[in-house]
Amino acid sequence: MSILVNNEWKIIQDGFSKEENRFFESLMSSGNGRMGLRGNHEEDYSGDSLKGTYVAGVYYPDKTRVGWWKNGYPEYFAKVLNAIDFIGIRVFINGEVVDLAKAKFTNYKRELDMKESVLRRSFTFISADGSEFDIQAERFVSYASPDVAAIRYSVSSKSKDAEISFLPFLDGDVKNEDANYNEKFWDYVSSKATEESSYVTMKTRKTEFTVSAAFTWNVIGADVVTKSAVNENNGEYVGVKIGTKVSKGATVTLEKYVSVVSDRYYEANKIEEVALKNAKNAKENGYSKLLEEHIAKWAAIWHMGDITIEGDVLAQQGIRFNIYHLNCTYSGDDPRLNIGPKGFTGEKYGGSTYWDTEAYCLYFYLGTQQPEIARSLLVYRHNQLDKAIENAQKLGVKGALYPMVTMNGEECHNEWEITFEEIHRNAAITYAIKNYTDYTGDESYLATKGIDVLVQTSRYWASRANYNKMKDVYMILGVTGPNEYENNVNNNWYTNRMAKWSLGYTVESLKLMKEKYADLYKAAFERLGLTDAEVAQFADTSSKMYLPEDKELGIFLQQDGYLDKEQILVSELDKNELPLNKKWSWDRILRSCFIKQADVLQGMWFLNDQYTKDQKIRNFDFYEPRTVHESSLSPCVYSIIAAEIGREEKAYELYLRTARLDLDNYNKDTDDGLHITSMAGTWMSIVHGFGGMRIKDGELCLAPFKPASWKDYSFRLVYRGRLLKVNVSEQGTTLLLEEGEAIDIVLFDKKVSLKPGIEFKS
């Protein structure tokens, strides 16, 4: 069996298990925001494997497949596409193909160096006659040159002189395992193979994205005896077969320089030329230089975004694993891109954008990157506002309803209880505007673009809410809240509460604009066709929104009728019945009181300063024991609230669960890819949970504590043009303003003045 080694900076697989291959392929994924791939083998592997190479923004509208079509259903489910396989290198030793699914081998090791973002593998291949050959492979997807990847593959002969042949190739004949109708998503465009370089160009069906991959190569340590171009499978498979001879004790190394480009960034009729040029330039620069530039980029990322933990290797490995993959997935340089729940690590969830981005990921990018990175996520939604308006119209509602799942702004999720009912996603998108504005102090986005989103989503809420004349309240009926284990409920507290807030925030924002940005205010009124009467309706709907609660228990009711369910705690369940989503029927789940993920607590986190500690305690103590945490998005919210109310041990327990969700395979689903968007929750659990970070009245506030098992921990915050380092130990909290002008912050409810380069110790 393989062993996952505990290491602060690396993910190490020691030994090999065919049954665990997909699991480690997921863990060893890498990317640069523009493209990425799973930790697949370069050489042949005929065993079970999920081959995955992905190009950002390239997708396919796979025809919706449902048993009963309903009006309003999207016509397709967007699929992130398995693209051209560019890492492939067939290896022959004395004519024998290296295939670890069939061959004898020892000393297998696969290692992802997260600090440098380099994947390394090594093993000893044993040929049919018992001869041994040490093989080492190393590769990276460049962060410095986002269209480039490089591979170094070495074979050392331990037993005798040998003939070594390499066949580096590109394969455009790829498929998705999750294709609804098992169809191929790509059409061949063109290809060419020469002895020095090769390229293949493919085009997606329907969406007609064009992608071209090219490579050049170099051999070190042995003379090239033979070389011949390879062009097979009607041009979809191209490469070059390279023959060398190596003496006993010597090593031969193949370097493969790859470029992958799409017509999202280059003209379609020129991408072959661009790909070839990039590959040739990469070869001229050389592997070492490319690697050096790549590592330098990652050093800058880690400088701002790393979290250090002393005394707990599992926690340290977990947080770096999550930070690493978030940065692999999204670099923020293209507002047309977003963060898929699986990133570049698998096909599940279609690689599309969910509400996860605004509810979780935005916090991470605000705190670890320059503000334009987070702003790009807001621009992404603004650019798709017209599609959100169309989506609301399809459902017979005014304003804008953003999709639950999307690639281009169109809804592409085909489960009715999600597509039609999980409307709370609108609130997360409007909350992100407030979150960005409060954190950065930059009101320009709100006043120029964000106000359009606020008004159109408020129109939706005002249209979707049902006025109950007898009770003089507005209600929102027939919804699914964040807890997807209850569908078609009335007055989900979180949905109603966030709708109430969203409407109120829109009114407040218009008032702000009228007072501070009169010209922009006037332009917005004209552009949006707003009237004073409509704004008054927003305010009235907000003020009269019905919020279910149980005064006797002192809790907010998850929805009307929640207490009618049989109230059983998770601790009373037989462990063999978990996870519920794999052991129970959906009917049984819907009738139970069990909660998939934070729901009421999600609202108390978003609107944190509007609730007292006692309110948080009562709701936490009621709902957490009923929550099975079978969503990857759940533990972090409970961890943050637990930290805030003084449940430090529980906060740590839930932090470790979210930090090591994929590493320890809690939900038994790491094989099909990592939970990228929930990884932001790991960062939140430390910074907002243990660190107590909040923005209150325009001030940065901290109230850190140290988990008992840690010696100390530290994190940095990028905040309003400054870089602040926070260190928490048994001796107290140390603050250091590393970059930027002096600033006042609040530490444990007391104002502290920080000056550049001068430590403050509490």
**Within-domain flag for 720:** yes
What is the overall mean pLDDT for the chain? 95
Non-local CB neighbours of 467 within 8 Å, separated by 6+ positions: 473, 474, 475
Type of residue found at 583: K
Model pTM score: 0.96
Residue 419: C-alpha distances to residues 86, 153, 285, 432, 687 (Å): 36, 47, 49, 21, 33
Query: Could you tell me the end-to-end alpha-carbon distance of the chain, in angstroms, rounded to an integer?
Result: 48
DSSP string over 199-237: EEEEEETTT--EEEEEEEEEEESS-EEEEEEEEEGGGTE
The CATH number of whichever domain residue 729 belongs to comes to 2.60.420.10
Q: Using 50, 70 and 90 to split pLDDT, how confident is the model at 74? A: confident
Q: What percent of the chain has pLDDT over 90?
A: 92
User: In this predicted structure, what is the pLDDT of residue 413?
Assistant: 82
Mean pLDDT of 292-315: 97
**Within-domain flag for 750:** yes
pLDDT at 68 over 90: no
User: In this predicted structure, what is the pLDDT of residue 725?
Assistant: 98
The CATH number of whichever domain residue 91 belongs to comes to 2.70.98.40
Catalytic residue list: 484
C-alpha to C-alpha distance for 93 and 205, rounded to whole angstroms: 39
Residue with tokens 């690590």: 345
**Within-domain flag for 474:** no
C-alpha to C-alpha distance for 681 and 669, rounded to whole angstroms: 18
Chosen domain end from 257, 276, 302: 302
- Tokens for 314, please give them: 């599992």
C-alpha to C-alpha distance for 590 and 587, rounded to whole angstroms: 5
Residue 422: C-alpha distances to residues 459, 478, 488, 546, 674 (Å): 17, 9, 9, 18, 23
DSSP string over 733-757: EEEEEEESS-EEEEETTEEEEE-BT
DSSP string over 681-702: HHHHIIIIIIS--EEETTEEEE
Q: How far is CA 414 from the centre of its chain?
A: 21
Q: pLDDT per residue over 327-342, tens digit each?
A: 999 999 899 999 999 9
Q: Could you tell me which residue, 419 or 8, shows the higher pLDDT?
A: 8
Torsion of CA 350, 55, 137, 308, to 10 degrees: -70
pLDDT at 15 over 80: yes
Q: pLDDT per residue over 476-489, tens digit each?
A: 999 999 999 999 99
**Within-domain flag for 58:** yes
Bond preceding residue 579 cis, omega within 30 of 0: yes
C-alpha to C-alpha distance for 134 and 156, rounded to whole angstroms: 5
Check if the beta carbon of residue 103 is closer than 8 Å to that of residue 126. yes
| Domain that includes residue 93, residue range | 37-302
DSSP secondary structure code for residue 9 in this structure: S
- Tokens for 112, please give them: 């992802």
Mean pLDDT of 665-689: 94
Chosen domain end from 302, 319, 340: 302
User: In this predicted structure, what is the pLDDT of residue 178?
Assistant: 80
Beta bridge partners of 55: 35
Residue 754: C-alpha distances to residues 190, 369, 743, 746 (Å): 60, 21, 5, 10
User: In this predicted structure, what is the pLDDT of residue 363?
Assistant: 97
pLDDT at 140 over 80: yes
Using DSSP's 3-state secondary structure scheme, residue 468 falls into strand
Q: Using 50, 70 and 90 to split pLDDT, how confident is the model at 351? A: low
Q: Where are the alpha helices (DSSP H) in 208-312?
A: 271-285, 287-305
Q: pLDDT per residue over 241-279, tens digit each?
A: 999 999 999 999 999 999 999 999 999 999 999 999 999
Q: What percent of the chain has pLDDT over 70?
A: 100
CA–CA–CA angle 308, 309, 311 (5° rounding): 150
Residue with tokens 């966030």: 498
Tally the residues of the chain: 762
- Sign of the alpha-carbon torsion through 375, 377, 379, 382: negative
Closest among 591, 411, 401, 559 to 477, alpha carbons compared: 559
Mean pLDDT of 146-153: 98
Q: Using 50, 70 and 90 to split pLDDT, how confident is the model at 352? A: confident
**Within-domain flag for 229:** yes
- Tokens for 724, please give them: 């602040």
**Within-domain flag for 428:** no
- Please state, as a whole number, how many other Cβ atoms lie within 10 Å of the Cβ of residue 225: 12
In the chain, the number of structural domains is 2
- Tokens for 705, please give them: 């504590």
Chosen domain end from 302, 321, 337: 302
Check if the beta carbon of residue 548 is closer than 8 Å to that of residue 491. yes
- Please state, as a whole number, how many other Cβ atoms lie within 10 Å of the Cβ of residue 551: 6
C-alpha to C-alpha distance for 362 and 339, rounded to whole angstroms: 10
- Please state, as a whole number, how many other Cβ atoms lie within 10 Å of the Cβ of residue 488: 13
Q: Using 50, 70 and 90 to split pLDDT, how confident is the model at 693? A: very high
**Within-domain flag for 408:** no
Q: pLDDT per residue over 417-452, tens digit each?
A: 888 899 999 999 999 999 999 999 999 999 999 999
Count the helix, strand and coil residues of the chain and give each as a percent rounded to the nearest 5: 35, 25, 35
Check if the beta carbon of residue 343 is closer than 8 Å to that of residue 328. yes
**Within-domain flag for 113:** yes
Q: Using 50, 70 and 90 to split pLDDT, how confident is the model at 67? A: confident
Q: pLDDT per residue over 211-238, tens digit each?
A: 999 999 999 999 999 999 999 999 999 9
Q: Could you tell me which residue, 426 or 206, shows the higher pLDDT?
A: 426
